Amino acid sequence: MIDVSRLSLGCAPLANLYTAVSPEQADATIRAALAAGITYFDTAPHYGAGLSEIRTGAVLSTLPRESFRLSTKVGRLLKPGAPRHNIFDDVPDLHSSFDFTADGIRRSLEASLDRLGLDRVDLVYVHDPDDQMDLALDEAFPVLRQWRDEGVVGAIGAGMNHAAPLARIAREADVDCVLLAGEYTLLDQTGLEELLPLCADTGTPVVAAAVFNSGILADPSDNATFFYSPAPADLLDKARRIQAVCARHDVPLAAAAMQFPLGHPAVETVLVGMRSPEEISANTAMFARTLPDDLWLELKSEGLLPNHVPTP
């Protein structure tokens, strides 16, 4: 178990993801989340070249420490120079560079704490070590385990877009939890192949992130995105068919997308990126809705969900 709210706030959108968000709006969004009962916030140096940490910390550092849980990520150091392949608008003139060495991991957390204005975070993830897994296992995770043993951080894990390498980390790195982004959703249940059953067996909580698959499960319009790229036609068609089933049960597609991961016993919280108090209000209301069992049964009968997939 990790002590987090069932719905949690991903703070990448507060760092001008795709479009600009004012500091005042970021502040208001975090405060609206707290007022709505959200107590877990996730950020990272990579989000807006440090801007997400700065804006998140500007609010949380003023609050009683026991009133929230905060995670950030290590493995990407910010260096001078324009961001590469940037999906964040109007951010500092910095780019993130992978560094999973022990020294890089220590420097990463030190810089994050400085941006956050805090002396500790509750949870630290190694961020996307896909192409440097051996280095991360040999150097990054031992540093995190040492921090956990010394009480520097409360829990450790890894945050990735792909379930297979996370399963290796769950087996080999003695982590407390894992964050899976985009591979346990209404459209993609890759995480069910190995990772989620493993985590259920070992009691390793899963943070289910990117449950809208970067947009398509919030609004499957012609310009919808899937994993931050234009959605393929077959997935767009499937998302619209799911949306049609949801409509027959008077359920917003976004509500089903947010609640679906909680059907698996390993999933501890659903992490949703939100950028305004209005989105906080709308999403918390949808998250709290009671969805009919017949919705999930029809999705399975229509072949839109496999029969063996657990549902809420």
- Give the chain's end-to-end CA distance (angstroms, integer): 19
Are 154 and 123 within 8 A, CB to CB? yes
Render 228-259 in DSSP notation, one character per residue.
TEEPPHHHHHHHHHHHHHHHHTT--HHHHHHH
| Tokens 């027959």 -> residue | 248
Is 18 designated active site? no
Q: What is the CA radius of gyration of the chain?
A: 19
Q: Which of 47, 125, 184, 228 is catalytic?
A: 47
Q: Which two tokens stand for residue 113?
A: 């704490």
In the block, residue with structure tokens 């297979």: 164
**What pairing do the DSSP bridges indicate for beta strands 94-98 and 76-80?**
antiparallel
Give catalytic residue positions. Answer: 47
